[in-house]
Chains A and B, each alone.
Chain A
Amino acid sequence: MSGRIEKAFLRARKARRAAFIPYITAGDPVPARTVVLARALERAGADILELGVPFTDPIADGPTNQRAAERALAQGTSLTGVLGLVRELRFSSELPVVLFTYFNPVHAYGLARFAVDAAAAGVDGVLFTDVPVEEAGPAHEALRRVGVELVLLLAPTSTRERVKAVRKLAGSFVYFIARTGVTGARAALEEGLEEQVRLVRKLAKSRVAVGFGVSTPEQVARIARFADGVVVGSVLVDRIGELGDVPELPGEIEALARSFAVATRRR
């Protein structure tokens, strides 16, 4: 195992921060910008990058990420292409990368071949939006062999039994879905989130990163008090969509991401 994810959490903890985990869709607005954006996010303070693999039918995503996937697909982004982008990023950066993907592109690529190629490209973890723990065995096995982490999701609707089942397969952290719904910016955080996260951390015996709908620095600051990591996606993706492929794009995204990164500090 590369251990980059583990190290990132340790480093954040030492600095009395929650890990800052921004999300962008690979290939949006164009594949040539993905590495540049990743570096901008790293400068802004990203501890781990969540990189979305675009898919035609993203059932777990709201309109923001759907449109990003459409833009990326229109630019010819494929899973092969995404692995190429990660490989390119590795020339200049050790930022841990977690791929955020639907299962079918990986299924079509071939699970075993994907695991080997992902590891070789420098991918640290893989999160499948539509592979619950019951279906995760083969992916876990394939990824384990090559030292890539499987990142599993838990939701407010997850039963205690499910949280415990996830514990058996989880790597450095689990991803807790902050609200029942799809991805997308939201004004308010769900009530009871803190208790849920504490319970999940206890039952899953794992670090917990919180995402889905986190869209203001204030929300980040609140979540950082009780979670090990905070995922911020749709606000960044929205901004990428608004700006498009313009020269200011990396600078703008860096500035926006920094406003979230600083909020991860625990006071």
Chain B
Amino acid sequence: MKPVPDSRGYFGPYGGRFVPETLMAPLAELTAAWQESRRDRAFRRELAGLLATYCGRPTPISRAARLTQHLGGAQVFLKREDLCHTGAHKINNAVGQCLLARRMGKVRVIAETGAGQHGVAVATAAALFGLRCRVYMGTEDERRQALNVYRMKLLGAEVVGVDAGARTLKDAINESLRDWVTNLATTHYVLGSVLGPHPYPVMVREFQSVIGSEALLQIRSQHRSLPNLVVACVGGGSNAAGIFSAFVPHRQVELVGVEAGGRGTRLGEHAARFAGGSPGVLHGTRSYLLQDQDGQVVPTHSVSAGLDYPAVGPEHAFWHDSRRVSYVRVEDREALDAFHLLSELEGIVPALETAHAVAYVARVAPRMGSGQAVLVNLSGRGDKDVVEVARLEGVKL
């Protein structure tokens, strides 16, 4: 069998490096530095040390007893990435890539952010390593994730609003790529998901795979067997890839990725790439893409900024076509219900992104037997969303 991805970064027909020529040399430099770092015991030890003593890993798996009881079916377990330092899985990748940036002699990092969690994570890691940091964020996302904008500034990062296109994650990535190509000598681009040109999809998945390797051991010891189902939300797909990667070889475990169904099934109303998209090329990689018949990228909508993106990581496209992972959609309203449900029953306020995964569990767990187990990747906490949820529900704060 051919290795996945191959040396050009292809997962079957997906992935690759569709970037301007100017970026090819820095991508080669990054690939070489990353490959070298993986073989370097000192680097691995330093990263593991930081994950343990700075990020708070391993994160536990909690049994969601009241949610399980409420749903009246499968037992629900939560992989608690919300307990990571900064409140989401994004820190795993941010610390890894900033360590790599320092190793490459870069003095400045840049990042795109949607929900602000990746931006906060990079600003945090940059502060930790003494790197200069600039974060690009669509102005619509700055509005709905205002708390995280201020957090990034507190951490010493410069936040640059992007007032183009849909003013969301996609546009922030465009601007990050433009910055990177202009400042190659000093700057590393810390991409926040399993997106973009090779080596990002495989590198980010590897930095996030700590979620899955921990979870596999934990669920085996706490539940005494593998879960029947693992669920994660899919924006670019990094938290999902992180937890799925450990379970992919275990064919008996069903894997489900949850996309943002937004407010309906019409093109432009959602971010469900597998339901409404087709293969295309955006941000350096070939994958499923929400586009019109002329190959123009269409606007997306989701209540959750972190899922509001028209493409998806190429490895997910590969998993989709090979049917190893199924992808489903959950609409805004259902995600908001799940946001409340988990808060009230488990005392955990999830991120709106994460609430999509919880909503799917609420949909399927009741149809499963009590001997079965569902593991949800609780990718982040919802503090950042409290103000926006209040606004959406007409609550005056």
Contact = CB atoms under 8 A, between A and B. Distances in A.
Interface in A62-107: 62, 66, 73, 78-80, 102-107
A243 to B, nearest CB: 22
B281 to A, nearest CB: 5
Contacts of A156: 22
Interface residues of B, number: 36
Contact of B164 (A66, A79, A106, A180): A66
Given A62-B178, A104-B289, A182-B181, A129 B20 contact: yes
Contact of A182 (B21, B178, B283): B178
A57 B165 contact: yes
A126 to B, nearest CB: 14
Contacts of A23: none
Contacts of B22: 155-157, 177, 180-181
Nearest to A181: B182
A134 interface: yes
Contacts, number: 114
B295 A105 contact: yes
B17 interface: yes
Interface string B2-20: 0000001000000011111
Interface in A121-156: 129-132, 134-135, 152-156
Contacts of B295: 55, 79, 104-109
B184 interface: yes
A145 B358 CA distance: 52
Main secondary structure on A side of the interface with B: loop
Contacts of B165: 56-57
B20 A134 contact: no
A8 B309 CA distance: 44
A79 B293 CA distance: 10
B297 A132 contact: no
Contacts of A131: 18
A59 interface: yes
Contact of B17 (A73, A80, A135, A177): A135
Contacts of A32: none
B294 A134 contact: no
B390 to A, nearest CB: 33
B294 A79 contact: yes
Interface in A147-179: 152-159, 162, 177
A180 B182 contact: yes
Given A103-B281, A108-B280, A134-B8, A55 B24 contact: no
Contacts of A55: 295-296
Nearest to B25: A157
A114 B27 CA distance: 29
Contacts of A107: 279-281, 286, 295
A1 interface: no
Contact of A103 (B18, B164, B291): B18
A57 B8 contact: no
Interface in B252-301: 279-284, 286, 289, 291, 293-297
Contacts of B17: 132, 134-135
Contacts of A58: 174
A60 interface: yes
B170 interface: yes
A129 B280 CA distance: 15
Contacts of A135: 16-18
A155 B294 contact: no
B24 A104 contact: no
Given A130-B284, A153-B21, A155-B21, A180 B181 contact: yes
6 shortest A-B CB distances, which residue pairs? A108-B295, A105-B295, A78-B294, A157-B25, A155-B22, A181-B182
Interface of B: 8, 16-26, 28, 164-165, 170, 174, 177-178, 181-182, 184, 279-284, 286, 289, 291, 293-297
